[in-house]
């Protein structure tokens, strides 16, 4: 393993977060029956541009978990497991637990306002607790990431590098056959209500990132086969969009289908190979985007949902304006709130997991 920083991983991360922001704008006003949003606000019989959600949803969170697994290996190459546990707990667990009570309850209030839950006549403390739970929002990702990180510590203590060394021999045939594992883990541990918590699929993606895709030899194979995997991913994407457009792409039974998981698997392979081959470098812009991607992820949905609740829901603005302002608000809230909160004592720890004062 080459311990130099992998610029392509940073680039995948911030580019994917930007894709997530754009996705959440379409998601907020989707006409596909996906719950928990404001829903369709246009008079269009069919919102064909909703296809964007079908293009990105099957793979973008799986990709982030793979990248997180790779990043965990890079971190552990230079730190002890004790440091890893401490770092992940501060960065992931604290913001997704304590942060809910000191800030993210605001997001919970906005989320409740999107549904009838905001109209419940209950005592203030009950409303506050509902807002806290609803405020988890996009933080489900870092909750699972912390859980998987703790499980990883136990696994590496047991396997003592033996399985990791075996995975170094992964070849292109194995990479293709791993789609069977993607399908298997995609079928298990899917909760009936909070479907975003796909414990099985994302656990597999994280562990595959650590044990398989953290090897430079494997990444070299993905770079070599990019021009095969990329067209295959595009074909699978088109097939998925044609077959399932109009159905709820974020829930059963669609998320369990072979086509969904085939597309997710090969999209992740092609993106890892493509970025490693063409985008493994750093510029002033990419460095800034990478440094701010976590803040953008944590805060962007507050901007999008605020526009939806306070302007789009009461029809103060047109649907076109709602989309445009939501997109702008997603980035503005993401970057501005990060710059502010990362400089406030206690809040920078509770909300963002920053344990030391940020430099201006």
pLDDT digits (tens, 9 = 90+) for 239-256: 999 999 999 999 999 999
pLDDT digits (tens, 9 = 90+) for 146-194: 999 999 999 999 999 899 999 999 999 999 999 999 999 999 999 888 8
Q: Is 126 inside any structural domain?
A: no
Q: Is 108 inside any structural domain?
A: no
Q: Which has more pLDDT, 196 or 158?
A: 158
Average pLDDT over residues 26-30: 95
Q: How far apart are CA 289 and CA 188, in angstroms?
A: 35
Q: Classify residue 357 by burial, with Cβ atoms within 10 Å: 0-12, 13-18, 19+.
A: exposed
Q: Is 246 inside any structural domain?
A: yes
pTM exceeds 0.85, yes or no: yes
pLDDT at 117: 55
Instruction: Write 298-301 long-range contacts (CB < 8 A, 24+).
Output: 298/95, 298/138, 298/139, 298/334, 298/338, 298/351, 298/352, 299/333, 299/334, 299/337, 299/338, 300/20, 300/21, 300/24, 300/138, 300/330, 300/331, 300/333, 300/334, 301/24, 301/107, 301/137, 301/138, 301/330
Q: How far apart are CA 150 and CA 230, in angstroms?
A: 33
Q: Which two tokens stand for residue 35?
A: 């719950």
Q: Is 305 inside any structural domain?
A: yes
Q: Is 181 inside any structural domain?
A: yes
Domain that holds residue 162: 7-96+136-352
Q: Is 119 inside any structural domain?
A: no
Tally of domains within the chain: 1
Half-sphere exposure in the Cβ direction for 26 (13 Å, CA): 16
Asked if 132 contacts 86 with a C-beta cutoff of 8 angstroms, the reply is no
Q: Is 200 inside any structural domain?
A: yes
Contacts of 175 (CB under 8 A, 6+ apart): 218, 221, 222, 225, 269
Name the nearest CA neighbour of 211 among 169, 154, 256, 270.
169
Q: Is 122 inside any structural domain?
A: no
Name the nearest CA neighbour of 106 among 310, 276, 316, 242.
310
Q: Where are the alpha helices (DSSP H) in the chain?
A: 7-28, 51-76, 81-88, 98-99, 105-113, 124-134, 140-159, 162-167, 172-177, 179-187, 199-211, 216-224, 226-244, 258-278, 284-307, 319-341, 347-352
pLDDT at 120: 60
Average pLDDT over residues 216-243: 97
Q: For residue 103, give the DSSP letter.
A: I
């Amino acid at each position: 393993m080459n311990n130099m920083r992998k610029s392509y991983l940073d680039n995948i991360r911030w580019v994917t977060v930007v894709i997530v922001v754009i996705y959440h704008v379409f998601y907020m006003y989707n006409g596909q029956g996906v719950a928990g949003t404001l829903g369709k606000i246009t008079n269009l019989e069919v919102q064909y541009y909703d296809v964007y959600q079908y293009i990105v949803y099957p793979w973008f969170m799986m990709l982030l978990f793979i990248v997180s697994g790779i990043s965990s290996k890079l971190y552990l190459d230079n730190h002890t497991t004790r440091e890893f546990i401490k770092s992940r707990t501060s960065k992931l667990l604290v913001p997704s637990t304590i942060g809910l009570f000191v800030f993210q309850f605001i997001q919970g209030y906005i989320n409740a306002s999107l549904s009838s839950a905001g109209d419940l006549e209950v005592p203030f403390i009950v409303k506050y607790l509902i807002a806290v739970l609803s405020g988890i929002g996009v933080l489900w990702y870092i909750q699972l990431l912390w859980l998987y990180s703790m499980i990883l510590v136990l696994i590496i203590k047991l396997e003592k590098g033996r399985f990791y060394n075996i995975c170094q021999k992964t070849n292109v045939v194995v990479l293709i056959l791993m789609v069977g594992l993607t399908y298997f883990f995609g079928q298990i541990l899917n909760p009936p209500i909070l479907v975003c918590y796909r414990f099985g699929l994302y656990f597999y993606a994280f562990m595959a990132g650590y044990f398989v895709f953290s090897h430079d030899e494997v990444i070299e194979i993905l770079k070599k086969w990019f021009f095969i995997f990329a067209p295959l991913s595009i074909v699978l994407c088109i097939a998925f969009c044609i077959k399932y457009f109009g159905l709820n792409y974020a829930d059963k039974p669609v998320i369990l289908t072979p086509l969904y998981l085939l597309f997710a698997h090969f999209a992740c392979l092609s993106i890892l190979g493509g970025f490693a081959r063409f985008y493994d470098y750093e510029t002033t812009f990419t460095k800034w985007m990478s440094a701010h991607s976590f803040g953008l992820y944590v805060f962007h949905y507050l901007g999008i949902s605020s526009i939806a609740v306070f302007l789009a829901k009461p029809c103060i603005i047109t649907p076109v304006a709602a989309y445009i302002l939501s997109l702008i608000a997603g980035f503005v809230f993401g970057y501005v709130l990060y710059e502010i909160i990362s400089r406030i004592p206690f809040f920078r720890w509770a909300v963002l997991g920053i344990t030391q004062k940020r430099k201006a």
